[in-house]
Amino acid sequence: MQLDDVVALDRVLPTGEQISIYGIVNQVRARHEGATFDSDVFLIADGVLPAEISEAALVQVTRVVPEIFVPPLPGTPVRIATDDERDTALDFDSVLRRLPAGLSRENEPIFLDLDFLDGTKGAHVNISGISGVATKTSYATFLLYSLFNSGVLGKEAVNTKGLIFNVKGEDLLFLDSHNAHMTSDQADRYQHLGLTPAPFGSVGIVAPPRRGDPAATPAVGARTTGVRPFFWTLDTFCRDNLLPFLFADAEDERQQYTIVVQSVAAQLAASVRHNEAVDGAVRIDGATLRTFAELVDFIERKLIPDDPDEKPDQRWTGRAVSGGSINAFVRRLSSSVRHVDQLIRADVADSPSYALDLDRNQLTVVDIHQLHDRAKRFVVGVVLRQAFDAKEASGVARPLQFIVLDELNKYAPRDSSSPIKEILLDVAERGRSLGIILIGAQQTASEVERRVVANSAIRVVGRLDTAEAGRDQYGFLPGVQRQRATILKPGSMYLSQPRLPIPLLIEFPFPAWATRSAEAARAGSGDTDPFEGL
Amino acid sequence: MKFAVEAWDPDYGTGGDIDALDASTDVVDADVELPRADWQPLGPHDTPTPEVTYFVDGVRRIDARIWVTEGGRAHPGSCATVAAGAVACSSTHAEVTDVQVRRAVFTPPVPGAQSIETSFGEYTHVPVRTGSPEDLYLGIHEQMTELETWVIPSTGPDDLVVFDGPLRGRSASRAVGLIKTQHVQYLDDDQQLVVGALEDGQRSPLFLIGGSSFARWSFYLRLPGPRTHGWAGVVRCEMSANRMLPVGDVAAAVDLANTVSATLPRFASEPHKENRAPQNLYPIKGLEQALRRRLGDQRLLQRALRVASADV
C-alpha cells in the first residue's frame, strides 16, 4: 500500500444490500507498537524490547456505491482497486465523454468529464503554480492536444479552435515541430492515454510587427519562418472602439479622465462611420491618418487647441471636464504611442489583410512576449473582445473556442478594474454558454479576480509556494494535498474536477511538440553541413 | 544530611533495603562456591551469551468484585483476567512469542457457585479457601503462575529462560528466576557487605537455599544503573537445583550463573523509561505492556458481567 493507491472495500447492510466504498490513500505511516519513547527504537533494533511494526494508511473516500453513507466497518479487508473497479472508484464509469487528462503515478489514465469543460455542465480550467516548476503552460497545451486529438469531441474536433497567448519567451512558437527529446517511454505514455504523440497539426503563429519596420515583418527571434505579422488598422481601431483597451484603468469610475476616453472613443467611431478608405486609413475632418502617432496628434489637437484662447471641442472632451482631466488623458495617450504604434497602423500595403483571423488555423499562437506590458494588455484585451464578439454574433456555441492565457493575475487582477478584466469576466461568466472556454493560468490564484477562478469547473495545481498554498483560494485541496502541492515535481499536478470530492495527483507525458527552439526537431538538421563544399 | 533518591517509583517501594530484610527461615548454605570467609564479588563475566533469551511473565487484573448470595448469606468473590506470555530476544529481534489469557471467577466453596457466561466469554469458576482478600489474591496468583507454565517455550540447548519473580515451581532446562525486590535476608552480615560492594555486572558467589525437597541455587547480581544506595540495581537470581543442576554439581551451577550474569545486564532498563529501573528488564516491561493490552477493556468486561448478573 502506498500513497495515491485507489482502494475499495465492501459492506453488507442488514437488508442484504452490498455497499462498496472507494477511496484514495492519502497518508501512510509506520510505527512501532509497544514503543513508549522515541529512543525505544534502538532497544527494539537491539532485540531488547519487544514491539511490532504496524503500518497504517489514511484513506479519503471518493465514492460510495450505492449512495448510502454508512461507515466502513473496522476489520474489513481492503483491496487495491484495479481496472473496472478503479474506474468505478474514480467515477470514470459513468462518464460518457472522457477526456484524457493525464496519468496516475502507476501509469493508469485519468480522465476528465468533457461535460464539465465544454459548457454542458461547466466550463473553464484554472491552473495555478509557481513559475518554471509547475509547468502550467505545458499542461495547458497538453489539454488542448488531448481535446483536439483524443476523439472525445467527435467530428466537431476539426472545427474546434484554440488560441494561445505566448507571454513568456518563445516557448510556444514551435508547437508544430516534433520534440527532439521525445523518448519511446514517453511515447508509450501517450499510447496509454489513447493519444498519438505528434506535434499540433494546424498551427498559425502570429507576432506583432517589428518596431520601426515599414514592411511590418514579425518581431520574432528564434523562429524565422511561418510567422505572420498582425496589427489593427486605424479604421478598425476607431470603428471597434478599441481606445479604452489602451488604458488599464479606463473603467475606474474614480478616474475623471475616463470620461474623456469614452467621449474620444465615441467621436472616433462616429468619424469613421462613413469612412470610404479601404486601406485601413481614416479620414477625419479632411485629414488622412495612416499611423497611430498621427491619430494621437489629431486627438491632441482636438482636446488641446493650439490657440490658447480657443476652447477645446466639447464633443471630444465630454461636458464639464476639467483641464486637468484632459491633460491626464493626453499624457497617458501620448505615452502609449511608443508601445503600440506598430500594432495600430495603416501605412502598409493591404493593411486590412493583417487582421487577426482565429479561424484560419485550428490553433493560433499570438506571440506577445516582446511587447511592453501596456501593449500586451491591449492585444489580449482586443483579441479576447474580438473572439467574444464573433461568438456572440454567430449565436451558436459550437464549434468551441478555447483560449489559453497565462498570467491571469496581470489581466484580471483581484483589485482594480479594467476593460480587459471586464472582458475576462465576461468570458468566465458567459463564455460557457457562448462556447468560449478559458484555460487560464497564474502563479497565484489569490491575486486573480475571484469570479474568474470561481467560474472554472476544473482546477489544476502544480507546485505552489508555501505561503500561497495556505490561502483559501485552494480550499478544494484537502490539507495533505495542500502540503504535497508545495513539493510537487515538474510534470505532476493536482487535478480537481466536480465529479470527485478529492483532487487527483496526475502526471502528464512529456510534450510531443517542441517547447523551445532547442527542442524543435527539423528535418535534416544536424545531419548535413550547410557549408559543405564551399 | 547525605541522601540519595531511590530510582524506583514510590508506588513500588524500594528494590532492596539492606537493613530492613526479614531473616530467612530457609536453610542457606553459602559455602557451595566459595567458603564464606573468602566471599568476594565475581566477574563481570565474558561468558558467551545464549543465542536466544526468553523472558516469561504474567499479569493479572481484577475485572470486578462480586458477591455470591447463597442461602441469604453473601460471600465475596472476584472476577479476574490473567495473562501470561513469553518474549524471545535474539541479538537483533525481540518478539512476543506466546500469549495466554484466562478469565476466572474466584469464590469461596459455596454450593451452587459456578462459571459465569458473558458476551465476551466465560469466567471459569475457581474455588478458593475463603473469601478473604488474601485468599482471593492467592487464587488469582496461582492461576497466573499456572498460565505462565503453559507459555514456557521449547528452547534450544543453550537458550536461557528468565522467569519474572521466584521460580515457584516453574522450570525449564536452563531457567532462572529473577527477583527484583529483596524482602528476605539469606546471608550473614559479612556476606551482605560483599553484595553491597558488587560493581555493575558482578555477582556474588552462589549459595544454596532450602532443603533437599525444593532447593535452589541463588546469587545476587548488580545490574548497570545509577548507584543511589548500596543495594541499588541488585537482583537475586535463583536456579532450581533439579535434575539438570543437582545439588552436588557446583560446576554446572557456576556455569549457568556466569551465563546469566553475562546476559542480563544488556536488558537492564533506565530510570527515565522505567519506574523500576534497572531491575525491571526491558523485555519484561514490553511483555507486561503487551499482556495488559490483551487483558481487554476492563469497563467493557465489567459491563458484560453486569449484564450476565442480571440474566441469572
pLDDT for A525: 45
Q: HSE-up of A319 (CA within 13 Å, CB side)?
A: 0
Name the minimum distance, in Å, from the CA of B67 to any CA of chain A: 37
Taking the CA of residue A74 and the nearest CA in chain B, the distance in Å comes to 17
Residues of B with CB under 8 A from a CB of A: 87, 89-96, 266-267, 272-273, 282-283, 285-287, 289-290
Task: Identify the CATH class of A99-226+356-458.
Answer: alpha beta
Nearest CA in chain B to A36: B273
pLDDT at A59 over 80: yes
pLDDT score recorded for residue A315: 79
How large is the average pLDDT for residues A10-21? 95
The strand ranges marked E within A129-262 are 161-166, 178-179, 203-207, 227-229
H or E segment and range at residue B264: none
Instruction: Note the pLDDT tens digit of each residue in A113-148.
Output: 999 999 899 999 999 999 877 688 999 999 999 999
Say what percent of chain B tops pLDDT 70.
Answer: 97
- In A, minimum Cα distance to B87 occurs at A50
pLDDT at A524: 42
Q: What is the mean pLDDT of residues A26-50?
A: 90
Q: Residue B89's closest chain A neighbor by CA?
A: A47
* CA pair distance A390, A384, nearest whole angstrom: 10
* Cβ pair B55, B287 in contact under 8 A: yes
pLDDT at site A249: 61
**Chain B partners of A38 at a C-beta cutoff of 8 Å?**
none
- The residue type at A386: Q
Weakest mean pLDDT among A61-75, A393-407, B51-65: A393-407
A46 interaction partners in chain B (CB closer than 8 Å): 91-92, 266
CB contact under 8 A, B93 and A47: yes
Provide the ipTM.
0.84
Q: Which residues pair with A23 in a beta bridge?
A: A7, A61
Best of B91, B93, B162 to substitute, by most chain A Cβ atoms within 10 angstroms, is: B93
More confident residue, B165 or A320: B165
In 3-state terms, what secondary structure has residue A236? helix
Average pLDDT of B186-191?
90
Alpha-carbon dihedral sign for residues A387, A390, A392, A394: negative
Minimum distance, in Å, between the CA of residue A56 and any CA atom of chain B: 19
Nearest to A48 among B272, B283, B289 (CB): B283
Q: 3-state class of A147 per DSSP?
A: helix
Rounded mean pLDDT of chain A? Answer: 87
Average pLDDT over residues B271-288: 92
Q: Which three cell numbers stand for residue B197?
A: 560492594
- A319-351 pLDDT, tens per residue? 777 778 888 888 888 888 888 888 898 888 888
Which chain B residues contact residue A44 at CB under 8 A? 94
The residue extents of the domains of chain A are 6-94, 99-226+356-458, 234-340
Which pLDDT does position A527 carry in this prediction? Answer: 47
Dump the DSSP string for A307-348. STTSPP-HHHH-TT--HHHHHHHHHHHHHHHHHHTTTBB--S
Q: Over 50: is that where the pLDDT of B132 sits?
A: yes
Chain A residues 40-59 with a CB less than 8 Å from chain B: 40, 43-52
Please answer yes or no on whether B286 and A37 come within 8 Å at the CB atom: no
Mean pLDDT across A371-376: 89
Instruction: Label residue A17 by pLDDT band (50, 70, 90).
Output: very high
